[in-house]
Structure 1
Amino acid sequence: MIPASFDYVRPESLEEACRVLGEAADSGDDVKVLAGGQSLLPLLRLRLAYPSTLVDLGRLPGLRGVEDRGDHVFVGALTTHDEVLRSAVIRERAPLLALATATVADPAVRHRGTLGGSLAHADPAGDLPAVALALGCVLVARSGDGEREIPAADFFVDYLETALGPGEVLTGVKVPVLGAGWGFHYEKFHRSAQAWAIVGVAAAVRRSDGVVEEARIGLTNMGPAPVRARAVEEALRGVEVTSPGPGLGPGPGSGPGSGGGPGGAADPVAEACARADEDTSPPADLHARPDYRRHLARVLTRRAIRSAIG
């Protein structure tokens, strides 16, 4: 289909972009921001979005690149998924972001789509919002009134809705660097490489002396916004995972749908992950019913946790 008509603005500076967005907000115009366009353009073609003004950020300087800042990695909002994947800093200092980004669509999309665009689009079926939530990322926004930082827990408000104000531009993401003892994994179930996740699980687990000390789990497509699997995180704390077997190894009796370890022994990891769908509200669509998504959340969380543990 052909998009509805709109005014097109391509600012040359961040200050100009903030001014244009602020003026549009004051006049009541419906404005959309274009970054890589891999999420927005399909909505325009299908007329699921029909803004009066489209603000293209493609020429803005200083919003692209990866910088190691010690306790966190700063990623510019216009950094493409491909640039994230090719960054040695990301692979070494923020591996969960690299793992999830590698599953985003296909190479063509990854060369155009941006990290900031994916987060600002806030599709609950997107891979990266759940990662930002699990890692506790901080999103940096700029407006005519200055700069502010928004924790990921407060950024994703509802379906395709964020905490960004009408005159704000997402300029970058602070990705916390987690230290020694952390393991990471992103597990995703989808119909094809190009399809959105039916369910995805971003897992980060810290263990010491064979015991889980902390777990952070973000779920994709289990509600109108990404959600933390808090019940699983609490249940995993203190679980012993010293060797394959109960609590870690797959073994007989610990396959999908089972809570037992080898020989029928209790598997605390499986028992914890059986709570993955608590406090979620998975959608129903052409690809899956809510009960199927709940089942997937439990199974994929167990796989992600076991892979993160090692």
Structure 2
Amino acid sequence: MLPFNFDYYRPKTLTEAVELFQYFQHQGKHPYFFSGGTELITLGRIDLSYADVVIDIKEIAECKVMGYDGNYLVLGSTLTLTQIEEGNYYPLLSKTSSEIADHTARGKITLGGNICGQIFYREAVLPFLLADSQMVIVGPEGVKVEYINAIFQQTLQLKGGEVLTQIATEKKYIDAPFISIKRRQQWETGYPLITLAALKIDGEIRLAFSGLCPFPFRSSEVEGILNQTDVPAETRIMSAMDFLPQPILHDIEGSDKYRLFVLKNLLHELLETFNSY
């Protein structure tokens, strides 16, 4: 049970959803766009999330699309992680999403909910950061399309009343060689220490991380160093680790020093997999 009550609305269109959000915001209330609801329930129980108006968008048609539009794969934000995995349109995303939470939870967690959530892992964003995907956002000013690396800065930078509706990814990234590795402190159980996702595109490695810092990220500086194939692998790895964002997480799952130890091994595995030693 949640420790607060809320009014529930289920608009049929995105326009109606945005108008409801604006109306209740102007009334001094705290509206919340809802698709899977797992985070509102989880964090609401411990007083880290609150809403007195819930606007459910999960059945709006534009938010449920999954398929190609020309040369772009378009995925709706209210698709569940289970639907993403079963559809398997983007194998790197399927692999990364298949290891989020457990099977039951993945049937409720949505793509948009994971990307826009407060929990710092948010692994589903990593494949899109690597692919320069485009985010389709609807808000009071209408529809806008933004490249993810321009609008995702630790979190997706949405304005009040804006909602992520779709993500479009060019096919060349979908077909690129990839790896996705998740390391946990306790083998296959518990929260992850670090998740690494990587693509090799146009002969160069792109990589993004979750669990290393309090936010998911992709670093052009780290990529630039690791792609210097004329430099020994160990030298590249040690140099790249000097350019990591800060702070490095230090919590019950693992210390900052242990995370860096795990990261070093992951980077060796990455370079070996892509034959960049």
TM over 0.5: yes
1:164 matched residue in structure 2: 158
> Cα deviation per residue 1:249-289 (whole Å; 9 max; x = unaligned)?
xxxxxxxxxxxxxxxxxx83343233246232222222122
Aligned to 1:5: 5
- Cα 1:305–1:99 shift into 2, 3 Å: farther
State the Cα distance separating 1:10 from its structure 2 match: 2.1
The CA distance in 2 between the partners of 1:7 and 1:194, in whole Å, is 37
Deviation at 1:43, TM superposition (A): 0.6
Counterpart amino acid of residue 195 in structure 2:
G
Deviation at 1:219, TM superposition (A): 1.0
1:230 corresponds to: 220
User: Match of 1:84, as an amino acid?
Assistant: I
5+ residue gaps, structure 2, are: none
Pair 1:111 & 2:101 matched: no
Corresponding position of 1:203 = 198
Q: 2:42 corresponds to which residue?
A: 42
Look up the SS of the partner of 2:23 in the other structure.
helix
Q: Is the 8 A contact 2:2 2:41 kept in 1?
A: no
- Equivalent AA in structure 2 for residue 199 of structure 1: I
Partner of 1:296: 262
Deviations 1:164-189 (A, max 9, x none): 11111211111232269932011111
Report how far residue 193 of structure 1 moved: 4.9
Q: Structure 2 matches for 1:33-72, cutoff 5 A?
A: 33-72=33-72
Contact 1:186 1:304 in 2 (8 A): no
| Residue 272 (str. 1) matches residue 266 (str. 2) | no
**Which residue in 2 is equivalent to 1:189?**
183
In structure 1, list runs of 5 or more residues that go unmatched: 208-212, 241-266
Number of equivalent positions: 273
Residue 192 (structure 1) shift: 6.2
29 and 174 in structure 1: CA distance in 2 versus 1, 3 angstrom threshold: same
Question: What SS does the corresponding residue of 2:63 show, helix, strand or coil?
Answer: coil
TM-score, normalization: structure 2? 0.87
Q: Percent identity?
A: 22
Q: Could you report, residue by residue, the CA deviation over 1:96-136 in whole angstroms, capped at 9, with x for unpaired residues?
A: 11221121122212222111111121533121122222222
Q: Give secondary structure in 2 for the equivalent of 1:219.
A: strand
State whether residues 34 and 56 of structure 1, in contact with CA within 8 Å, keep that contact through their aligned partners in structure 2: yes
Summarize the Cα distance change of 1:180–1:164 in structure 2 as closer, same or farther, 3 Å threshold: closer
Higher mean displacement: 147-156 or 270-279:
270-279
Aligned-partner Cα distance in 1 for 2:175–2:32: 42
What's the counterpart of residue 220 of structure 1? 210
Provide the aligned C-alpha RMSD in A: 2.6
Greater C-alpha Rg? 1
